[in-house]
Amino acid sequence: MGQARELENKMTQAMLAGDLDAVRSCYAPDVVATTPDAGTLHGVDQVVDYLRQSIEGFSDMGWEPTRELEAGNCAIDEGWQTGRHTGDLVLPNGQRIPATGKQVRIRSCDIAQVEGGVITRHDLYFDQLEMLSQLGLMEAPAATQT
């Protein structure tokens, strides 16, 4: 296991534990992260704040990996994020979605690039439609309804 895989695993475990200090220690001060909902984040403070909102929104967050890959200085995780929506979710426009109490299981993938022992770029992807549908905030597309 290389440094990228070790660091990605450390960051994931810190997220699941809700340990924001440990999360912060995984990132370079000038990290750049891309997200499907908040766009591009610049700097460790923006990244940690973004991840804090996930921790607060889903207090029992879980991770079910389907693939964990490493290629050079990149670690790639694909799997399912799980959790019960127990806290407000803050949208990029500042609006809040109050806790619904609903359980979610959404597809997710992220790619972490590591240089000098820290994550310097982090691309996060998750299925927003799947999440909003499972929270009961919009109707699921006909092809995904069961």
Is 143 within a domain?
Answer: no
pLDDT bracket for residue 137 (50, 70, 90): confident
Is 140 within a domain?
Answer: no
Q: 40-68 pLDDT, tens per residue?
A: 999 999 999 999 999 999 989 999 999 99
Distance separating alpha carbons of residues 40 and 76, to the nearest angstrom: 19
Would you say 107 and 69 are in contact if contact means Cβ atoms under 8 Å apart? no
Is 7 within a domain?
Answer: yes
- The average confidence (pLDDT) of the chain is 92
Sheet of 74-84: strand order equals 39-42, 27-35, 118-126, 103-115, 74-84, 62-71
Q: Which domain does 83 fall in, by range?
A: 3-135
Is 114 within a domain?
Answer: yes
Is 51 within a domain?
Answer: yes
Distance separating alpha carbons of residues 92 and 106, to the nearest angstrom: 19
Quote the number of domains for the chain: 1
User: Dihedral of CA 47/3/72/13: which sign?
Assistant: negative
* 65: its two tokens: 């990996």
Rounded mean pLDDT, 92-113? 92
Distance separating alpha carbons of residues 85 and 82, to the nearest angstrom: 10
Rounded mean pLDDT, 113-133? 95
Please report, for the domain that includes residue 78, its CATH number.
3.10.450.50
Q: For residue 81, is it left (φ>0), alpha (ψ between -120 and 50) or beta?
A: beta
Best CA proximity match to 14, nearest among 30, 32, 27: 27
What is the predicted pLDDT for the residue at 95? 85
What is the predicted pLDDT for the residue at 142? 66
What is the predicted pLDDT for the residue at 90? 82
